[in-house]
Amino acid sequence: MAKLIDPFNRSIEYLRLSVTDRCDFRCSYCMPKSFKDFAEPEHWLSFDEIERVIKAFGALGVSRIRLTGGEPLVRRNLSDLAARLARLPGIEDLSLSTNASQLTRHAEALKQAGVRRINVSLDSLRPERFRAITQNGRLDKVLDGLRAAKAVGLAPIKINMVAMKGVNDDEIDDMVAFCVAQGYTLRLIETMPMGSSGLEASQQYLDLREVRETLGRRYDLIPTVMSGGGPARYVRVKGTDLRIGFITPISQHFCATCNRVRLSVDGTLYLCLGQDHHFELRPLLRRGISDEGLQQAIIEAISLKPEQHEFQDKPEQVVRFMSMTGG
């Protein structure tokens, strides 16, 4: 099997595939309040085009694909796409990141299509606060979506909580209790300064090393590993099945082991979450490039992958919004 190796000797095995830049929420750290600048659907890769690109990545050793967005469930017929991708040679793991607001009606079809596991964004368990963070999101819909996912056997279910100073840092204990009771994994994420929401994000930044210390005084935390290839550092809470992951792009960045690239809905391959290095695949696809040519283009693109992000050194550097590449 071919392998994609970047200039810093990292093996690229994981692709985050953004299937839309639209979303039914407007989380303050992810999208600007006034966001209307949606890419036109004709610029979006079709399912046929996406399938070709993922097939090429599969042939080059990428085995794990995560469907993301924007909110992936707002892309019509997502489960059809999932079924097509799950069947491709080399693709061993198909997962989904979602806000779960529409998961109730999609969970069964996604499971049937071959999605195995999901990550759900959930920053608050208080309906009013949840509504404020997401700018109108309904917590009850998300909780229903989570129940539906559990009922159809999507597992593991990981809760992604962006921990924000003065916003939801008083809810970490509640979220621990919720995840213990429901059998979910909890992942705490440091806010990254993305897009023009960067300044607000910097003000809300919470160093998760402090959170871990606080949790460590309350619970017995045993370091553990969890499959899934993400950058989280996990602990298990002694006496429970709960695993807590800490994703610390700012306080302890994990660029040295970065194994991923991101494809946006318009066919741009982004080589780093925090840098602008990118490569346009859509023009090649629409010019009728061969399968071999597409693989060569991907190899060329990977040679552009930068060594690391600079969130800490240049927090004011404006990169795109997270909603474009799906986190």
List residues near ligand SF4 by CB under 6 A.
23, 25-27, 30-31, 69-71, 99, 121, 134, 323
- The encoded tokens of residue 164 equal 């924000």
For ligand SAM, the nearest residue by Cβ is 327
Which of residues 12, 15, 19, 30 is near ligand SAM by CB under 6 A? 30
Under the criterion CB under 6 A, does residue 201 sit at the interface with ligand SAM?
Answer: yes
Q: How far is the CB of 262 from ligand SF4 (least distance, A)?
A: 13
Cβ 126 to ligand SF4, closest distance in Å?
17
Contact 190, 230 (CB under 8 A): no
Does the footprint of ligand SAM cover residue 208 (CB under 6 A)?
A: no
Q: Dihedrals φ, ψ of 15, to 5°?
A: -125, 130
Q: How far is the CB of 85 from ligand SF4 (least distance, A)?
A: 20
26 vs 131, beta carbon nearer ligand SF4: 26
Instruction: In angstroms, give the least distance from the CB of 134 to ligand SAM.
Output: 9
**DSSP secondary structure letter of residue 21:** S
Q: Select from 64-72, 75-83, 258-266, 300-308 the region that touches ligand SAM (CB under 6 A).
A: 64-72
Interaction site with ligand SAM (CB under 6 A): 23, 29-30, 68-69, 71, 97-99, 121, 160, 162, 189, 191-192, 194, 201, 322-323, 326-327
